[in-house]
Structure 1
Amino acid sequence: MTQIEQQIERFPTPAELAPHSVDTVVARMRAHHSSWLPSDGLAVFNGVYLTVTEEIGRRIERGVFPDARSAVTLDVLFAERYLAAVDASVAGRRPPDCWRPLMQYRHHPGVSPVQFALAGINAHIGHDLALAVVDSCHALGCLPADLEADFDRVGDTLVALEERIREDLMPGPDLLEIADPLTHLLGSWSLDRARDAAWSAARLLWSLRELPELADEFRQRMDGAVGLVGRCLLTPAG
C-alpha cells in the first residue's frame, strides 16, 4: 500500500461518517466516560468534550444556530473524528498522528489533567476540525463559506470551555509558583490561533479537492505538525 493510499484509508469518507444526531455521539462519549478511570488522560479530555457537545446540542435545540441541519452535521462529523481515533486505538490500529501522544501518555503520572485536556483539544481543533468542515461541505453540498457562521459559533463555545478548563484543572497558585514550567508550557498554546488555523486549513483543503495527492500530502503534514504540538503539551511536569 502506498503512502497516499494509507493516508486515504486513515481519513474515512463523508459517506462513512454520515451524521445521525448529536444524541448519538453524546451517547458514545458517555459510554467511554463510564468505562474509563477518572485518572485516565483520555477520560479527562472525553469528559471535557462531552460537556461541550452537550452544550452545543442544547444551543441547537434553542435555535442559537439559524441552520440546525448544517450545525448538527458539522457537530456530529467533528465528533466522529475523535470517536474514530478512539475506535482505532482500542482496536489496535494506528490512530492519526495528532492523537497518538494523548493515546500514549494517557496513563503517565507526571502529566497533569489540564495538559491532557489541552492536548486533546489541540488534536481535535488543529486536525479534526478542518476535516470536519470539508466532510460537512460534501455531505451538505455547500461551500466552506456557507458554514462559517456555524464554525464561529462552535468555536465560541470551545473558547468559553477552554477558559473553564484552565480555571477548573489548573493547579492552585502555590503549586504554580513551584511548577512555573507548566504555566509557561500551557500559556504557549492558544485555542483562538488553533481555530483560525483550522479554518484556513479547511478552505485550503476544499480548494485542493480536485488535487487528491496534494490534499492528502497537506493532511499528512498537518496531522504530524499537530501531533508534535500535542507531544510538547504533554511534557511531564511533575
Structure 2
Amino acid sequence: MPHSEQFAPLVPPAAAALDGVLARIRDLDATLPPRDGVAVFNRVYLAVTQEAERRAGTGLFTTPGTADTLDVRFAERYLTAVDADVRGRRPPACWRPLLQFRRHPGVRPLQFALAGINAHVGHDLALAVVDACRSLGCEPADLEDEFDRVGDLLVTLEERIGEELTPGPDLLRIADPLTHLLGSWSLERARDATWSTARALWALRRLPDVAGELTDRLDAAVGFAGRMLLTPL
C-alpha cells in the first residue's frame, strides 16, 4: 500500500462531502456583494449549515452518515442553481425570482432571505430526500428522523432571518405591507408539503414521466410563491 494511503486520515465520505459543501457556501459568502439578494440568503444559510455540521459532530444525528447525506444533497440543490445562473444556464424555476430580482432596490433583505428559504424548502428538500434515498438504498421513512432534524435547523434559519433582517419595531405595524406579505407564507406548512411530496416522488420513481411532471409543477408553483415574496415594496 502506498505510504500516503496507509497513513491517510479516515474521513467518512459523507462528512467530507459536507465539508466540501460548506467550503462552496463560504466561497459565495466571500465573493458576492453584501447587498446582493443571493448573498443575503447565503449568509444566513452558511451560519445554519455550520450549525448542522456541529450537531453532526456531536452525535445528535443517530444514523451514521444519513443526516450528512441529506444535508449534502439538500445544499447541493441550492449551489447547483446558483452555479447554473453564473454559467448562463437556466436554473430551476423556484430559484429564478431570487436570481432575477437579487439587485432590485425595492426589495428588502428579509424578502430575499425568505424567497431563498421558500425555494430551498419548497422544492429542493423534497428532491434531496429522493436523492438521499437513492444514494443510501433506503426508503423515505428511514430518513424521517433526519428530515425532522433538518426541519429543526430550518426553524433556526427562519428565526435567524427574523433576528438579523427584521428592520425594527416598525415592521410590526399592521399597515406595513411586508407584514401582510410575510403572513402569506409558512415554514411549517412548507415542511409538511415537502415531506408528502418526497414520499409521492419516491412512490412514482418507476413512473418517470409522471414523476417528472410532478417535479416540474412543484418547481413552477414554488417559483410563483417566490415571485410573490419578492414583490417590491
Q: Name the SS for the 1:21 alignment partner.
A: helix
> Is 1:134–2:121 an aligned residue pair?
no
SS for the counterpart of 1:68 is coil
Q: Contact 2:171–2:178 at 8 Å: present in 1 too? A: no
Please give the residue correspondences for 1:21-170 in structure 2 after superposition, counting only pairs within 5 Å: 21-170=17-166
Correspondent of 1:199 among 190, 195, 200: 195
- Contact 1:52-1:157 at 8 Å conserved across structures: yes
* Structure 2: gaps of 5 or more residues: 1-12
Distance 2:174 2:104 in 1: 20
Query: 2:208 pairs with 209, 212, 228, which one?
Result: 212
Contact 2:66 2:146 (C-alpha < 8 Å) held by counterparts: yes
Residue by residue over 1:126-150, the C-alpha shift from the partner in whole angstroms, topping out at 9 and shown as x without a partner, is 0000000000000000000000000
Match of 2:225 among 220, 223, 229: 229
Could you tell me whether the CA contact under 8 Å between 1:22 and 1:53 is conserved in 2?
Answer: no
Q: Which 4+ residue blocks in structure 1 deviate beyond 2 angstroms?
A: 174-179
**TM-score normalised by the chain length of structure 1:** 0.89
2-side partners of 1:107 and 1:38: how far apart?
Answer: 11
Greater Cα offset, 170-179 or 190-199: 170-179
TM-score (norm 2): 0.91
- For residues 26 and 62 of structure 1, the distance between their equivalents in structure 2, rounded to whole angstroms, comes to 17
Judge conservation of contact 1:122–1:226 (CA < 8 Å) in 2: yes
In structure 2, how many angstroms separate the alpha carbons of the residues matched to 1:93 and 1:141? 31
Q: Deviations over 1:118-170 (max 9, x none)?
A: 10000000000000000000000000000000000110111122122112211
Deviation at 1:176, TM superposition (A): 4.7
* 1:177–1:144 CA distance, 2 compared to 1 (3 A): same
Note the C-alpha offset of 1:68: 2.7
Does the CA contact (< 8 Å) of 2:126 and 2:197 recur in 1? yes
CA distance in 1, matches of 2:180, 2:167: 13
SS of equivalent residue, structure 1 residue 188: coil
Letter in 1 for 2:181: L
Distance across 2 between alignment mates of 1:113 and 1:177: 18
CA shift for structure 1 position 179: 5.9
Count, aligned residues: 220
Give the match for residue 5 of structure 2.
none
Letter in 1 for 2:124: D
CA RMSD of aligned residues (A): 1.4
Task: Call closer, same or farther: CA 1:180–1:23 in 2, change over 3 Å.
Answer: same
CA distance in 1, matches of 2:196, 2:149: 16
Larger Rg: 2
Q: Give 1:48 shift.
A: 1.1
